Structure 1
């Protein structure tokens, strides 16, 4: 049974806006767009997205609670916009190079910090989609800790990849560190957010029935990631000099997708 606050709308749009993935959209936009010559564009679009999501959410879901993540969205990107406007050319150049890593680290801190204070940021969204009787159950809390942790890890990976491209390769637009690894990390977290609750519910149902835990269906998580290997391989063929790696990724992606499809 789902309970809804008084005045809160229901339906696909309302449910979409109450998804924590939506709250992370400004960060994803910023981390993927920012780079030399693109700081103003990235921070402007991220701030616009953050404000628009709050306004639309309040119009559609009247009475919904304020979320830590959406407040952090506005504060962080408004601050970045002000700094960008007032900063010297040298500071702006530094931001264009490293702001992506700063934003990824900031979101990782929010994720792990919210877990440390026993309020994983996905919990505020999840509570508005389930009956209050489930709010303090072990399975419900564990699911939110796992999903929040997955996002924290994803943004740490993205930050590390970006830092390696900037500090070691001295190439913020490197196809691997600037794009492929970061996109894969985000897609993996997105898929985990969708996949893990079903796994947790299946496990809880078996425990309630007094049955032994069954094997985890990892194919459901890995299949979309395997499918990404094909377009990644094509991108490597086009934009990188390692044609053999591009071919290998396309072949591996095709074979893994076929294998995992048969297991899912």
Structure 2
């Protein structure tokens, strides 16, 4: 589980550096870390479908670095936290639109091969990816509105970021267990 959370490290580093220093250097740091995580993951044998968030991060940080160095005072700069979540929302919803929820590859690394092609496995991952998509979308909209009306409300920005990351993370950890328990409940009743 911790290894899978490393995919979010570039986003976290960007948030820390871009908030406290300069979005150009946050974008470069995020890009370097995203590429480092991708290289390390590939060397460890991860497939590309297990690295959707990492790959999405690399593309995002290339784009942000290009924009931020071309125009350091771009009107987009203050909306960095909202842009991150909007990009992640597009990643989540896009993966669902092409019927490849971004959590599928990650889940395959933790589930037995015999369940990978089952409708239940797909459905669980579609639900989990949808929860992440909702969280990213809520964060993007909430942060964009907040940064527009109260650009220096750091505590509120941090709160939105934490809540919209921790809530889907907890859901991701618990939901498969709930589905498995529901599946086992009828079998237990049949043997009683």
* C-alpha contact (below 8 Å) 1:111/1:121 kept by paired residues: yes
- 1:65 counterpart = 2:47: yes
Higher helix share: 2
Q: Aligned-pair distance for 1:32?
A: 5.5
Paired residues, what number? 188
Aligned positions of 1:160-171 closer than 5 A: 160-169=141-150, 171=151
* C-alpha contact (below 8 Å) 2:128/2:172 kept by paired residues: yes
Aligned positions of 1:134-149 closer than 5 A: 134-149=115-130
CA root-mean-square deviation: 2.2
Equivalent of 1:77 in 61, 79, 82 = 61
Equivalent of 1:90 in 73, 86, 89 = 73
Greater C-alpha Rg: 1
* C-alpha contact (below 8 Å) 2:115/2:121 kept by paired residues: yes
Aligned positions of 1:198-213 closer than 5 A: 198-209=177-188
Instruction: Specify every segment of 5 or more residues in structure 2 that has no aligned partner in the other structure, as ranges.
Output: none
* C-alpha contact (below 8 Å) 1:122/1:144 kept by paired residues: yes
Q: Give per-residue Cα distances to partners, 1:81-107, cap 9 Å, x unaligned.
A: 1222222x432xx23201221121111
2:26 and 2:187 map into 1 onto residues whose CA distance is: 48
TM-score (normalizing by structure 2) = 0.85
Q: Relative to 1, partners in 2 of residues 1:31 and 1:145: Cα closer, same or farther, differing over 3 Å?
A: farther
Q: Which residue of 2 aligns with 1:184?
A: 163
Task: Classify the secondary structure of the residue corresponding to 1:25.
Answer: helix
Q: Which runs of 4+ in 1 moved over 6 A?
A: none
Instruction: Specify every segment of 5 or more residues in structure 1 that has no aligned partner in the other structure, as ranges.
Output: 1-14, 212-264
Q: Give per-residue Cα distances to partners, 1:118-164, cap 9 Å, x unaligned.
A: 11001012123323321122321122112111111111222122112
* C-alpha contact (below 8 Å) 2:86/2:136 kept by paired residues: yes
TM-score (normalizing by structure 1) = 0.64
Q: Relative to 1, partners in 2 of residues 1:208 and 1:34: Cα closer, same or farther, differing over 3 Å?
A: farther
